[in-house]
Amino acid sequence: MAKNKNLPDSPGRYAYDGLDRVIHEKARLGILTSLAGHPQGLVFNDLKDLCSLTDGNLSRHLQILCEASLVEVWKSYGNNRPQTLVRLTPAGRQRFLDYVHVLESVVTDALAMTPASNDKPRLLPGLTPQ
Amino acid sequence: MAKNKNLPDSPGRYAYDGLDRVIHEKARLGILTSLAGHPQGLVFNDLKDLCSLTDGNLSRHLQILCEASLVEVWKSYGNNRPQTLVRLTPAGRQRFLDYVHVLESVVTDALAMTPASNDKPRLLPGLTPQ
DNA sequence: CGATTGAACTTTACATGGCAAAGTCTAGCA
DNA sequence: TGCTAGACTTTGCCATGTAAAGTTCAATCG
């Protein structure tokens, strides 16, 4: 949990390289989180509702997630209608978890200094004020 | 902590409306997190290094954060060079905190179902499998 | 003392990418 | 055999992130 990330102010300390662009997008983050909680997969319309997305929107993002091999899409015919089932791939689940861990560190960073800002007389770290 | 967010699968459950676009961008998230930990503010170059950004990049994002009233920018002349000091505004700090709380719930959601996926016999929530 | 370098930003231009509106395709129904 | 409805896909526009080029000013060099 404590890599070199708790060092005071090293260069790149807040670069958050691990924030995978493909995952970090709001809509896709919602999609992946939904899927993470539904290992059996979700059909297109349920996913659409859970994430409050439009058809076109969801379609596009699924395409992107698919190309990145984060999810897999299964087509079939449930009660005489096309049904699209979406699931996380194992690799996708792993990449998502990695991403979430970075997210955790962002939250930790953010909450570490902030809430005590009114009572703690803070000393300036490495900055030379002149 | 438990709004209606722990309800099984209500529509919009994973929409994450609170993920403010202005804040959610990777680079700006880094900038804001840096600033959250440095209430006295940071100068342009330190911020640049902490976030591993290029000059132009940082400049652009600061502009955006400024227009959104999340940060304030002070110009001056420290040792015969222009110095730009950047700080979170009080409102900015609040909005950032709000955002971080949403982020926390994303992490919670993501980790809630996922890590036990090998030993916990999971029961399907609200989905009707047919 | 005019030219040049270097620091510290700003501006511009391009290219990616998100989003919504329009389009496709199949099945049932009148 | 049109027509409507559902389930997506495709297209096109516009916002936005990024890198490269530009600007400004102080100090230094010839």
Residue with tokens 């949403």: B102
Domain assignment present for residue B45? The answer is yes
B26-45 residues touching A, CB cutoff 8 A: 26, 29-34, 36-40, 42-43
Q: How far off is chain A from B60, nearest CA to CA, in Å?
A: 16
Give me chain B's average pLDDT, please: 84
% of chain A with per-residue pLDDT over 70: 82
- From the candidates B1, B14, B84, which should be mutated to test the interface with A, based on the most A CB atoms within 10 A? B14
CB of B128 within 7 Å of some strand D atom: no
Taking only the tens place, the pLDDT of each residue in B65-75 is: 999 999 999 99
Residue A6 has pLDDT above 90, yes or no: no
Domain assignment present for residue B120? The answer is no
User: Backbone phi, then psi, for A77, in 5-degree steps?
Assistant: -120, 95
Total Cβ atoms within 10 A of residue B109: 22
Domain assignment present for residue B37? The answer is yes
pLDDT attached to residue A114:
53
Domain assignment present for residue A85? The answer is yes
Residue B98's SS3 state is helix
Residue B10 has pLDDT above 80, yes or no: yes
Tell me how many domains chain B contains.
1
pLDDT attached to residue A121:
35
CB of B80 within 7 Å of some strand D atom: yes
- Cα B74 from Cα B85, distance rounded (Å): 5
Domain assignment of residue A34, given as a range: 21-108
Angle at A104 between CA A98 and CA A108, to 5 degrees: 150
Sign, Cα dihedral of A111, B44, A13, A97: positive
Domain assignment present for residue B30? The answer is yes
* Residue closest to sugar C1' of C22 by CA: A56
Domain assignment present for residue A117? The answer is no
Q: List the CATH number of the domain containing B62.
A: 1.10.10.10
Give me chain A's average pLDDT, please: 84
Angle at A37 between CA A76 and CA A56, to 5 degrees: 50
Chain A CB within 8 Å of residue B13 CB: yes
